[in-house]
Structure 1
Amino acid sequence: MPRGDKSAYTDKQKRKAQHIEDSYEARGVSEDEAERRAWATVNKESGGGNLSGSGRGHAENHDSAKKGGHLGGKAAAARTPEQRAASARKAAATRKRNAAAKH
Structure 2
Amino acid sequence: MPAGSSSKREHQYEHIQDSAEGRGASERRAKEMAARTVNKERARSGETKSASSGSTKGKSPSQRGERSGGSRSGGSGRTREQLYEEAKKKGIEGRSTMNKDQLARALGH
The equivalent of 1:81 in structure 2 is 87
Which 5+ residue runs of structure 2 have no aligned equivalent? 50-57, 98-109
Secondary structure of the residue aligned to 1:63 is coil
Gaps of 5+ in 1: 54-60, 88-103
Instruction: Return the structure number with greater helix share.
Output: 1
1:63 maps onto 2:65 in alignment = no
Q: RMSD over aligned Cα, in angstroms?
A: 4.1
Partner of 1:20: 16
Q: Which of the pair has the greater relative contact order for Cα pairs under 8 Å at 6+ separation? A: 1
Alpha-carbon displacement from aligned partner over 1:49-90 (angstroms, at most 9, x marks no partner): 938x7xxxxxxx8622323368642597x987126x858xxx
Distance 1:41 1:8, change over 3 A: same
Equivalent positions of 1:1-103 (< 5 A) are 6-47=2-43, 50=47, 63-65=60-62, 66-67=65-66, 68=70, 72-73=74-75, 81-82=87-88, 86=96
Check 1:42–1:62 CA distance in 2 against 1; reply closer, same or farther (3 A cut): farther
Quick one: structure 1 residues 27 and 43, their matched pair in 2 at CA, closer, same or farther if it must change by over 3 Å?
Answer: same
Aligned residues between the structures? 76
- Structure 1's consecutive aligned runs of 4 or more residues displaced over 4 angstroms after TM superposition are 69-72
Give the deviation of 1:36 after TM superposition.
0.5
Indicate the percent of aligned positions where both proteins have the same amino acid: 29
Mapped partners of 2:16, 2:71: distance in 1: 16
Structure 1 residues 24 and 43: alpha-carbon distance in aligned structure 2, compared to 1, 3 A threshold: same
